[in-house]
Amino acid sequence: MAPSANGQTVGRRLPVESAFTRVEDARHRLPRLFGRRDLVVLGLGVMIGSGIFRISGNQAATGAGPAVILSFVIAAIVCLLAAACYAELSSTIPVSGSAYTFSYVTFGEMWAWLVGWALVLELVTAAAIVARAWSAYFLATLQGFGVTLPENLARFFGPDAKVNLVAPLLLLILTAMIVTGTKLSARVLTVVVIAKVAVILLVVVVGARHINMDNYHPFVPPAMAAPAEASPTLLGWILDSSFGGFGVMGIFTAASTIVFAYIGFDLIATASEDARSPRKTVPQGMLLGVGAVTILYLAMAVVLVGMRPYKQLGGSAPVSEALAAVGVGWAAKVVNLGALLALMTVIMVVLIAQSRVLFNMGRDGLLPKSLGRVSRVYSSPARAATAAGFAALALTLYPKVLELEELLVMGALFCFAFCAVGVLRLRRTEPNLERGFRVPMVPLIPLLSLAATLWLMLNLNTSTWTKFVIWMLLGLAIYGLYGRWHSRLANEDSWDFDIGDTDPGTGGMQTVRTETDRTSDELRAVRTPPQKPTRGKHMRS
C-alpha cells in the first residue's frame, strides 16, 4: 500500500501550504505574464465564440424559439453564481489547475482526479468541436468572397465531413503557437479579441435596423413531442415523460446547452500561476469577463431572433445567413471573418487551459510527471501543451464530434458543482485563510449555484449521461492503476525532479530560488486572525 503524507491512501488531501510551496519552490514553474486586462481578454477569447455565431440560432430553431433570449439569461445566472464560487476559490488557492487543484485541497486526491478528468473531457471536446465549426465558417468565408472550391476538395472542409483536413491543420498551428510561449499567444489573442468584439458590435448595430417585431411572436412556441428516436433528458426519463422542443421546458433544455457558450470564465482560473497578483486579478478577470459577454450575448440574441423567423435559424452559419436574408450581404462577409477569429481564439484559450491542467496533474504525479515540466527554451509547459493539442486533433477526426457538444457541458457543470460545495467546505475547514474575494451571502449563493447546476444537468440527454459515466469509470480505472500509486503526495519523501528527468531537447531546469530571489508575487497560505473578519470585503486590494 502506497505511503501517504496524511496516513491515507484514497482520501488524502493536499495541504494548502503545499499547494503554494509547489509553485514558489518548484524547479518547474510558469512565468507570471498576465495582468488583469490579459485575464479578461483570455476569458473573452474563449467565451465569445460559437455561442454568438452558432448556438443562439440553432437553439432558437430547435429548442426554445424567440424565448432563447430567456435561455441565455438563465445560463448567465447559473454561470455568474458559479463564477462567484470560482472567484473565491481561485483567490484563496491561486495556483494553476483550476477546479482540479481546488478539489485536491478541499476534498482529497480521488475527487480531485475525477474533477481533473472531467476538465480533460470538457477541454479536449471543446477544442475538437470548435475546430470543426471553424472549418465550416472557413468554407463559408471563401464562398462569400467568390472562391469556389472543387467538389472533391470542398467535401474535406465541412463540419460533418468524414475526413476533415482543415480542423487538424488548425489545431497543429495553434498548438505550435502555445508550445513556443504564452507571451506570443497572449499578444495574438488580444488583437483577435478586439477585432471580434468590433465585429459583434457592428452586427448588433446593423441587424437592429432590420428587426421585424412579428418574429418575436409567439415568444414561447407551443411544446412539441420529442421524436421517437430522440434521447430523452434525464429529468424526462426520471419522470417518465418525454419533453420535446419548445414550451417552458424547451427554454431550460436550451439553457443547458447554451452553458457551452459561457464556458471560459472557469478557464481563467487555470492561468492563476501565469498571472501577476493572482489573488486580485483572477477574480476580477472572471467576473468582468462574464458580465461583458452576457451583455454581448443578449444583444446578439435579441437582434438575431428579430431579424429572421426562428424556424429559419437552424443553418450552419445562422448569423451570416440572417444578415444575407435581410439584404445586408456585406455584413454577412464580415461576420464570417469575425467567426473565424472568434472560434480560433476559443481553441487557443482552451488548449492553453488544457495544458495547465495536464501540467498540474503531471506535477502531482497523477499523470506521467514528464507533463509537469516547464521548457527552459519556451518558458511554457511544452509537453503538456503538445499532449493537449494532439488529443484534440485525434478527437476532431471523429466525424460525429459535433454531437458531443452536451458532453463537454456535462464536464463543465460537474466542476461547477464541486466548486460550489468547495466554497462551503473551505469556509468551514479553513475559515481564516486569506481570500482576495469572498462570495457574499454564504451559504445562500453557493447553494443556489449548486441547485442551478444540478437542474441544468438533469436537463441533459440520457445518452450524454451514459457517455459521461463511461468516461468517469475509465478515469477511476486509470487512477486506481496508475495515479494512486504514483501520486507525489503518496511518495513525498522520494519525489524529485532531478537532472536525469529532464530531456535535453527541452532545455535544462530552473533552479530553486533562494530567499533573496523571491518577488512580491510569491504566494503563501496566509491566515488572518479570527478577530479580524473580512466578511463584506468582497474584493480586497
Per-residue model confidence as pLDDT tens digits over 268-289: 877 777 777 888 888 888 888 8
In a domain, 487, yes or no: no
**Separation CA 296–CA 282 (nearest Å):** 21
The proportion of the chain whose per-residue pLDDT surpasses 70, expressed as a percent, equals: 82
Grid coordinates given for 470: 463511461
SS3 400: coil
In a domain, 494, yes or no: no
Cell 452586427 belongs to which residue?
203
Peptide bond into 218 cis (omega under 30): yes
Min mean pLDDT across 148-157, 237-246, 300-309, 360-369 is at 237-246
More confident residue, 107 or 541: 107
In a domain, 476, yes or no: no
SS3 25: coil
**Separation CA 315–CA 298 (nearest Å):** 20
Q: What is the DSSP string of 132-192?
A: HHHHHHHHHHHHHTT----HHHHTTTSTT-SS-SHHHHHHHHHHHHHHT-HHHHHHHHHHH
Asked whether the beta carbons of 170 and 179 are under 8 A apart, the reply is no
pLDDT interval class at 6 (50, 70, 90): very low
SS3 375: strand
More confident residue, 177 or 11: 177
Q: Who's near 11: CB < 8 A, 6+ residues apart?
A: 108, 109, 110
pLDDT interval class at 517 (50, 70, 90): very low
Amino acid at 15: P
* Vertex 300 angle, CA 296 and 306, to 5°: 150
**pLDDT higher than threshold 50 for residue 498:** no
More confident residue, 444 or 183: 444
**Separation CA 246–CA 259 (nearest Å):** 18
Grid coordinates given for 448: 443556489
**Separation CA 457–CA 476 (nearest Å):** 21
Q: What is the DSSP string of 432-448?
A: TB--SB--SSTTHHHHH
Q: Give the pLDDT confidence score for residue 460 in this predicted structure.
A: 87
**Separation CA 419–CA 413 (nearest Å):** 10
In a domain, 532, yes or no: no
At 416-460, the pLDDT tens digits run 999 999 999 999 988 888 888 999 999 999 999 999 999 889 888
Min mean pLDDT across 229-233, 242-246, 514-518 is at 514-518
Question: What number is the average pLDDT over the span 222-249?
Answer: 72
Q: Give the pLDDT confidence score for residue 234 in this predicted structure.
A: 78
**Rg of the chain (C-alpha set):** 23
Q: Give the pLDDT confidence score for residue 515 in this predicted structure.
A: 39
**pLDDT higher than threshold 70 for residue 226:** no
* Vertex 212 angle, CA 210 and 216, to 5°: 135
Q: Give the pLDDT confidence score for residue 193 in this predicted structure.
A: 83
In a domain, 180, yes or no: yes
Count of domains for the chain: 1
In a domain, 506, yes or no: no
**pLDDT higher than threshold 60 for residue 107:** yes
Question: What number is the average pLDDT over the span 379-384?
Answer: 83
pLDDT interval class at 243 (50, 70, 90): low
More confident residue, 517 or 50: 50
**Separation CA 341–CA 479 (nearest Å):** 38
**pLDDT higher than threshold 80 for residue 232:** no
β partners of residue 34: 275
More confident residue, 161 or 465: 465
Closest among 328, 408, 40, 56 to 189, alpha carbons compared: 40
Min mean pLDDT across 55-64, 118-127, 274-283, 527-536 is at 527-536
**Separation CA 195–CA 189 (nearest Å):** 10
Q: Give the pLDDT confidence score for residue 440 in this predicted structure.
A: 93
Q: Give the pLDDT confidence score for residue 33 in this predicted structure.
A: 63
**Separation CA 149–CA 81 (nearest Å):** 46
Q: Who's near 275: CB < 8 A, 6+ residues apart?
A: 32, 34, 35, 38, 39, 94, 281, 282, 285
The proportion of the chain whose per-residue pLDDT surpasses 90, expressed as a percent, equals: 30
Q: Tell me which DSSP letter residue 220 carries.
A: S
The number of residues in the chain equals 541
**pLDDT higher than threshold 90 for residue 145:** no
End-to-end CA distance of the chain: 46
Q: Give the pLDDT confidence score for residue 261 in this predicted structure.
A: 81
**pLDDT higher than threshold 60 for residue 197:** yes
In a domain, 469, yes or no: no
pLDDT interval class at 54 (50, 70, 90): confident
Question: What number is the average pLDDT over the span 228-244?
Answer: 68
**Separation CA 11–CA 21 (nearest Å):** 21
Average pLDDT in the chain: 80
pLDDT interval class at 472 (50, 70, 90): very high
**pLDDT higher than threshold 80 for residue 380:** no
State which residues form the domain around 380: 34-460
In a domain, 256, yes or no: yes
* Vertex 533 angle, CA 528 and 534, to 5°: 90
Q: Give the pLDDT confidence score for residue 447 in this predicted structure.
A: 96
SS3 478: helix
Which of 94-98, 396-400, 442-446 has maximum average pLDDT? 442-446
**pLDDT higher than threshold 80 for residue 26:** no
At 316-364, the pLDDT tens digits run 778 888 888 888 878 878 888 887 887 888 888 889 889 888 988 998 8
**pLDDT higher than threshold 60 for residue 522:** no
Question: What number is the average pLDDT over the span 513-539?
Answer: 47
**Separation CA 345–CA 340 (nearest Å):** 9
More confident residue, 152 or 168: 168
- CATH number, domain at 193? 1.20.1740.10
